[in-house]
Structure formats: structure tokens, C-alpha cells
Amino acid sequence: MRNLINRLDAIRHPFPGIQVLGLISSALFITSLILWPAVGETGDQSDQTMPIPALAKTLETNQKLAPQAEPFVIRAERVQAGDSLSRLFIRQHLKPQLLHALTQAEQSNRRISRLNVGQTIEFRYSGETLVELAVIQSPFQQTVATHAEGGWSIEQRQRDPEIYIEHAHTTIDSSLFIAGARAGLPDKVIMELADIYGHVIDFVHEIRKGDQFTVIFEKHYLDGEFIEYGNILATEFVNSGESFLAVRYTDGQGDTGYYDEKGVSLRKAFLRAPLNFRRISSNFSHSRKHPVTGVPRPHRGTDYAAPTGTPVYASGDGKIVHRGAKGGYGKTVVMKHGTTVTTLYAHLSRYGKFRIGQQVKQGETIGYVGSTGLSTGPHLHYEFIFNGVHRNPRTILDKLPKAKTLPQTEIKRFEHLAELLIASLNAQRNNAELAFQTINTPE
């Protein structure tokens, strides 16, 4: 409860660029998520909190605030290559005996003398006396050595971010990133969105003008200052009129994933685009002309234009059955996934470390984009073959190996969380559409 109060308390901090009203509703939103009684729950349900990612962590971790009361004079050092603590002590004109006493206080789990290049070390003085030495690991984590009468003591100090929940809704005109930017979303959140849907939507070929997405995500603050974007809690992507919901959920085992409204994981047996979306131009491209002859032809695969050397991933778990030149395909890898699915990756510049006969996991690199064989420019030619026929895996998802579904023991808690988040997504989308209509309706 104390964390909740902290969070509500933090509303009074000035947050540049964010509406306070939004913050209040966000804080209430979190409160409602935590305190809301589960629908249809029986009395023997003992869970007091729901495992909302990050929130649960926040509730569990004992918040230990850095003592801000003492007005330290801080002289910060940035660790350069070749620096050691003794060098920093010399730069600070401190006595070597002080350092010796400090290293004596070190224990295996509380070390301070092992520095990394780029780290910030704060020397905190009271007048001319060094009272604290802090190794700053992150805005949320520091190792602090405190000097008192009895010598040095070393401790880890951890701070939890103040978490605020924000919404965004946008419609795609030309590219996912432009739409995201218009909604005030950084690329990091967009990439995460693409990762969440990486098994159901091909973000290179299937994104259409008019597609929409709504997203609920965290922002992390410390003392009223924005530090970083947190997790996406829930999102809806409407692609060619088809809605895909994703709710972030951490199960009793501590595994976190994204699930649809029925509790089915969005991680499917196959990736839609077998390479890193970040490396591909996000422009729409639906060319079906043969890259060499220029003649449109029935194309039995998908082409992804990408820079030479872009890693190509195994789209699913499986075995390498071919690795070598294959006529117009150039350097090619073929994989077998069980008895029904074969995938093919062509025009590679070179192969990954896996050889014929080896088992490979989904997402492992089996080759690199190139332009070998009948190809005018670097691209990946990818084929997905189901029972001997080229298919779009999106249309035969029910025939492919089933994705993980939350077990009965989890489903109630999941549905309770999903219901709230989906209601919030819907409200956000409806508000956005209402605002759009209001703006665009002539009086």
C-alpha cells in the first residue's frame, strides 16, 4: 500500500510535457487494477494483488530511498579506460589510506573497486571530508560506501521508478513509425509493438493504410523526472480490419508473455518475417515482379529487401535439411519443421553456424541477407510450405502447432486483468474516434 501512496503522492511533482489530469487518472487506473475485486472470485482466492508486470515488482521490492537530506557536495568522475579507484582517488586528492580502508570493507557481494568504463562515480563530501562514494549503475541502482567513525560500510541502494500509465491511439497513413511518432510514441515502443505481433502480422508486407493501433504503456519517473519507457501493458492492432489484442501477463511461474483475450499466447510456432524488422525499410512494397526478368509472375514466396548481412532467422524450431547453392535461389537454407512445414531462405550472402542435420531454435541466425543467384539486389526470398503447398501462415494458424494457452489455474486471474485493460483500450479508441469526428465534422 505504501507504494501506492508514494505513487499518488508523486502526482504533486511537476511533470513537464504530461497532463496532470492524465496522471491522476493513470494513478487511479493502477489503483483500480490492484484493488478491483476479481469478477466471480470465490472467497478462497488469497491473492491480494494481481501480477501486473513491473507493478508487482514495485509492490514487492522494499523501496529504499537514497538519503537526500544531507547537503553533500558531489564531485562526479566518469570512468575512463585504464581507470582504477586508486587513480580516481588521486584525481580527487584523497589519501591512499582512505582507499585501503575502503577495500578492506569490501565483500564478494558488495564490491565497489571494480569499475566499468563509462560508469559515473560520485564522491560525496561534507565540507572537505569524503562521507560517501557511490558507483552509479543506473538511475535506479547504486552501490554506496559510507564513511563513518568505525570505518566504511558498503550497501546496495535500489530505488523503484514511479510508474505512470499512458495511452496512445493512432491510424497508419504511410508507415508504422510515422504514425507512432504522430501519437507521441518513441521508436522503442513501436519496435516493442512489432515484437509483440511478430508471430501474427508481417510488418513489412501486411501493414495497410487505415490500420490502427491503441496501446497502454508505462513511463518510469524518478523524483518527477522522466527516465525511461516501461512495458506495453496491453495493445490492440487492427490490421486490414482484423483486430489483434495483446495483454501482458506474468504467470505463477514468473514467466511474462502477451496473450489474446482468450489467454492464447501471441508467440506462435512461426515468425511471420524471418528477419529483424528494424533492419528493413518500413515503406509499403507489394511488388510482385520478378526482380530480374521484370515480368509479373506467380510468386511463391515473400521478398524482404534488406541490407546485405542482415541476419536471417529460423522462423520456427526445426532441422536444417539443405544448406548450399540451389540454382537461381543462390545460397539457400531449407528447414523442416515436424512433418508438415518446410521453410526456405534464398539469395543469402553467407550461412550461419548451423549445418545440415542440426536442430535450430526459432529466432536463431541461419544465414545473412545477400544477392546470390537470380537476384538484382540484396533481399531475402522466403517460402513457407505447408503439406507441399506454399501458404501464408496467417491463414492456416489453426493447422499449425498450437501456441501456449494459459492453464485453467491462471485463466481467471488473467481474464480479470484482461477485462480491465481491454475496457481501457476500448475507451481510449472510442475517445480518439469521437475527437476525430468532432474535429472533422463541419458545423
Binding site for Zn ion (CB under 5 A): 301, 303, 381
Query: Smallest distance from the beta carbon of 310 to Zn ion, in angstroms?
Result: 15
Query: Smallest distance from the beta carbon of 381 to Zn ion, in angstroms?
Result: 3
Q: Which is nearer to Zn ion, 331 or 381 (CB)?
A: 381
Q: Which is nearer to Zn ion, 137 or 371 (CB)?
A: 371
Residue closest to 298 by CA, chosen among 390, 211, 173, 216: 390
348 with 372: CB under 8 angstroms? yes
Buried b vs exposed e over 102-133: b needs ≥16 C-beta within 10 Å? beebeeeeeebeebeeeeebbbbeeeeebbbb
Query: Smallest distance from the beta carbon of 299 to Zn ion, in angstroms?
Result: 6
Q: Which is nearer to Zn ion, 89 or 304 (CB)?
A: 304
Residue closest to 269 by CA, chosen among 352, 198, 366: 198
Backbone region of residue 93 per phi and psi (left: phi > 0; alpha: psi in -120 to 50; beta: other values): left
Q: Which is nearer to Zn ion, 337 or 381 (CB)?
A: 381
Q: Which is nearer to Zn ion, 51 or 373 (CB)?
A: 373
Query: Smallest distance from the beta carbon of 266 to Zn ion, in angstroms?
Result: 27
Q: Which is nearer to Zn ion, 50 or 346 (CB)?
A: 346
Q: Which set of grid coordinates corresponds to residue 303?
A: 521478398
Q: DSSP letter for 397, please.
A: G
Q: Which is nearer to Zn ion, 54 or 306 (CB)?
A: 306
**Which residue has the closest beta carbon to Zn ion?**
381
Query: Smallest distance from the beta carbon of 275 to Zn ion, in angstroms?
Result: 14
Query: Smallest distance from the beta carbon of 346 to Zn ion, in angstroms?
Result: 7
* Residue 13 CA to its chain's centroid (Å): 27
134 with 143: CB under 8 angstroms? yes
Query: Smallest distance from the beta carbon of 47 to Zn ion, in angstroms?
Result: 51
How many other CB atoms sit within 10 Å of the CB of residue 375? 19
How far, CA to CA in Å, does 132 sit from each of 76, 99, 101? Answer: 12, 12, 13
Max CA pair span of the chain: 84
